[in-house]
Amino acid sequence: MSDERTTVLQMRGVGLSRAGRVPLLHDVDLTLESGSFRFLTGATGSGKTTLLRLASLALRPQRGTIGLFGHETTRLRGGARADLRRRIGVVFQDFRLLAHLSAFDNVALPLRIAAPAGKQGRRDEEAIAGTVGEFFTWLGLEDAMEKKPPALSAGERQLVAVARAVVARPSLLLADEPSANVDGACADRLMTLFAQMQKLGSAVLLATRDQALLQRHPFPILRLEQGRLEAGEAGAARHRAEVATG
- The confidence score (pLDDT) of residue 115 equals 76
Specify the fold of 1-87+170-181+200-246: Rossmann fold (3.40.50)
In the chain, the percentage of residues whose pLDDT exceeds 90 is: 78
- 6 in helix, strand or coil? coil
Each residue's pLDDT tens digit, 176-233 = 999 999 999 999 999 999 999 999 999 999 999 999 999 999 999 999 998 999 975 5
Task: Say whether pLDDT at 2 is over 80.
Answer: no
DSSP single-letter state for residue 219: -
User: CB atoms < 10 A from the CB of 4, how many?
Assistant: 7
Domain ranges within the chain, ordered by starting residue? 1-87+170-181+200-246, 98-168
- Residues contacting 231, CB < 8 A, separation 6+: 30, 220, 222, 223
Q: Considering the chain, what is the average pLDDT of its residues?
A: 89
Q: Compute the average pLDDT of residues 53-80.
A: 92
Q: Compute the average pLDDT of residues 59-73.
A: 94
- The confidence score (pLDDT) of residue 114 equals 84
Specify the pTM: 0.89
Each residue's pLDDT tens digit, 123-136 = 689 999 999 999 99
Each residue's pLDDT tens digit, 16-56 = 998 756 789 999 999 999 999 999 999 998 999 999 999 99
User: CB atoms < 10 A from the CB of 76, how many?
Assistant: 17
- The confidence score (pLDDT) of residue 3 equals 59
